[in-house]
Amino acid sequence: MAIVKILSRHSPSYASLIKYILRYIVNDAKTNTGQMYTNNLRSDTMSGYINEFIENEAFRKHSRTDQIHLFHEIVSFGADEDKEIITPEMIDDLAHSYIRLRGNTGVMLGAVHRDREHIHLHFCVSALHYRTGMSFGLNKSQMLELKQSFQNYHKERYPELTKSAPNHGNRTKYINHAEWHRQQREQIVAIVQQCHAEATSQQHFLELLRNNELPHYERGGSATGIEYGGVKFRFSRLLEKSQFESLPIDRSEQDAALLEIQNIREKQQLRDFNNRDQEDRAR
């Protein structure tokens, strides 16, 4: 199957991720594709999609300081795959199959990116089922089941795709950390350092990394490094000491989302109180 990566986000950075995912949809004339996918979303504008993710978060039943707000999920085809056989119809079918296997009760938005040597899809996925407040996360066994089920569909429906079928669950198939560093580290370091030189804040730095297909991963709710090709690279190994931490923290997007979530919850509580009061009066 195409390679699947699921990265969790502990901050409500819906806006920046959705803007990144839809950046080629907005400028559709440059790509001639404009393939995007939604599940349990009713809007047809970027601001509308962002608001719906925030509204869904407001249904959360159990809050924690280290809770996950969203997932950044990536489905990539092999770089050696013949792009001519990866038709828009094939991508549509595989995207809808992924959404179905991931769960029809999820809130998901995705789009195709063709700006690299390999075709890939990015999804923003709410950490909660649609309007239930319950977790939409996956444990290790569920994640493996998702990948294997998608792989089976991939092999049966499109056997002509021969360069995008890793054996999930068999770690020996992945290149080891040291070998990967020898092959790729210099190139990755150059990109990360260039992004750092251009960044005006930590959030801007992470956005620049995403634009270069280097999504970050988190530990303890904080950005720790980037993930590329199934291997994780710590910022401490890519930048000088404390370079990332020295960048200013711009929490305006997250703070605005958290405030909106709180406002929605207060309105929901007031509406529920008024409904109960009307029911009591009618008795």
* pLDDT at residue number 111: 96
* pLDDT number for residue 185: 77
Mean pLDDT value of segment 113-131:
91
Q: How far separated are the first and last CA of the chain, in Å rounded?
A: 59
Least confident interval from 88-92, 159-163, 165-169, 263-267: 165-169
> Alpha-carbon distance 78 to 186, whole Å?
22
Write down the pLDDT at residue 172. Answer: 44
Mean pLDDT value of segment 220-231: 85
How confident is residue 258, by pLDDT bands cut at 50, 70 and 90? Answer: very high
Report for 102-106, 118-122, 216-220: range of highest mean pLDDT: 102-106
For each of the domains in the chain, give its residue range(s) and CATH number, in order of start: 1-173 (3.30.930.30)
- pTM, two decimals, is 0.80
Distance CA(60)–CA(252), nearest Å, equals: 22
pLDDT of res. 30: 43
In percent, the amount of the chain with pLDDT more than 70 equals 88
Task: Please give the structure tokens belonging to residue 270.
Answer: 């007031």
Only one residue has tokens 């990536």, namely 74
Confidence of residue 28 (pLDDT cuts 50, 70, 90): very low
Among 67-76, 119-128, 180-189, 242-251, name the one with the lowest average pLDDT: 180-189
Q: Measured in whole angstroms, how far is the alpha carbon of residue 147 from the centre of its chain?
A: 16
Q: What is the pLDDT of residue 198?
A: 93
The β-bridge relationship of strands 222-228 and 3-9 is unpaired
Q: How high is the pLDDT of residue 2?
A: 72
Q: What is the mean pLDDT of the chain?
A: 86
Identify the residue with better confidence: 1 or 48. Answer: 48
State whether residue 200 is helix, strand or coil.
Answer: coil
Q: Is the pLDDT of residue 84 over 90?
A: no
- The answer, yes or no, to whether residue 32 has pLDDT greater than 50, is no
Reported as a single tens digit per residue, the pLDDT across 148-201 is 999 999 889 998 887 665 555 554 444 455 665 566 778 888 899 999 999 999
Q: What pLDDT does residue 164 have?
A: 62
Count of CB atoms within 10 A of residue 67's CB?
Answer: 16
The residue with greater pLDDT, 140 or 28, is 140
**Strand runs labelled E in the chain:** 3-9, 36-39, 70-76, 106-113, 120-129, 216-219, 222-228, 231-234
Q: How far apart are CA 193 and CA 209, in angstroms?
A: 10
